[in-house]
Amino acid sequence: MRARSRPSSPVTLWHLALVLAFALLFAVVGSGLVRAQEPARRSAAELMDVLMWNREPVGGPFSLTDHSGTTRSEADFRGKLMLVYFGFTYCPDICPTDLVEISRALDQLGPAGEIIQPLFITLDPERDTPEHLAGYVPLFHPRLIGLTGSADAIRQAADAYKVFYRKVETGGGDYTVDHSAYIYLLDAEGRYLGFFPPNTSAERMLTIIRSHLPRG
């Protein structure tokens, strides 16, 4: 009864502030729920910055399925330099261009290039099944291994390599995949050495790769 005689007391103002705070909280949580299916991802620019300035470790364990249906982990490639590329087979331009350059680099090295294991990890596991990859990777190089897996396994591998990718609907139920296109080089112990930007020529790749080949 005592409170009724003090309508504009600090308690009422505090109450109003609390209501506003809750309204704001619901707006924020609500908008978060709408996007809950696609959790917030780092932007392409942010990931590029991480790579450019070596801010975080790159690479790490993965378990994926190759284009012959065999489970492969990164440990299977110890003793080889890994040249890792993320893309998707329906990519109209940048993926094929980079894969051609990777293959040219390998061919120019001849037998010395056999210490290099080129890997193509799909960012479109929905369409890039092992069977589909089997019809794609040999078009570029006989030793190129295509890797796919569950959406989660691919996301995990891409996150480890700071790869940006995102499905973009193009209408009529069709879609494409926006993605960053770096070529990663790892040493024989699976340690990250660095990356080549998209559109790096075979010749440019070779100047770096040669310096990491075993001597003799």
Pair 167, 175: CB distance under 8 Å: yes
Whole-number Cα distances in Å, 130 to 71, 112, 121: 11, 28, 11
95 in contact with Ni ion (CB under 5 A):
yes
Question: b or e along 36-68 (b: 16 or more beta carbons within 10 Å of the residue's beta carbon)?
Answer: eeeeeeeeeeebbeebeeeeeebbeebbbbbbe
Residues 50-69 that bind Ni ion (CB under 5 A): none
Number of residues that bind Ni ion (CB under 5 A): 4
Given the complex with Ni ion, which of 93 and 152 has the nearer CB atom? 93
Beta partners for residue 174, in sequence order:
171
Q: Which of 94, 134, 160, 202 binds Ni ion (CB under 5 A)?
A: 94
157 in contact with Ni ion (CB under 5 A):
no
Amino acid at 185: L
Q: Which of 87, 118, 149, 198 binds Ni ion (CB under 5 A)?
A: 87
With H, G, I as helix, E, B as strand and everything else as coil, classify residue 184.
strand
Whole-number Cα distances in Å, 134 to 2, 7, 92, 138, 142: 81, 76, 18, 7, 11
Give me the residue whose beta carbon is nearest to Ni ion: 91
Min dist. Cβ of residue 212 to Ni ion (A): 25
91 in contact with Ni ion (CB under 5 A):
yes
Min dist. Cβ of residue 112 to Ni ion (A): 28
Given the complex with Ni ion, which of 92 and 214 has the nearer CB atom? 92
Given the complex with Ni ion, which of 113 and 146 has the nearer CB atom? 146
Distance CA 177, CA 167 (A): 5
208 in contact with Ni ion (CB under 5 A):
no
Which residues are CB-contacts of 12 (< 8 A; sequence separation ≥ 6)? Answer: 6
Of 15-23, 83-91, 124-132, 167-175, the segment contacting Ni ion by CB under 5 A is 83-91
Min dist. Cβ of residue 62 to Ni ion (A): 19
Of 11-19, 79-87, 106-114, 148-156, the segment contacting Ni ion by CB under 5 A is 79-87
Of 3-11, 15-23, 53-61, 85-93, the segment contacting Ni ion by CB under 5 A is 85-93
Site residues (CB under 5 A) for Ni ion?
87, 91, 94-95
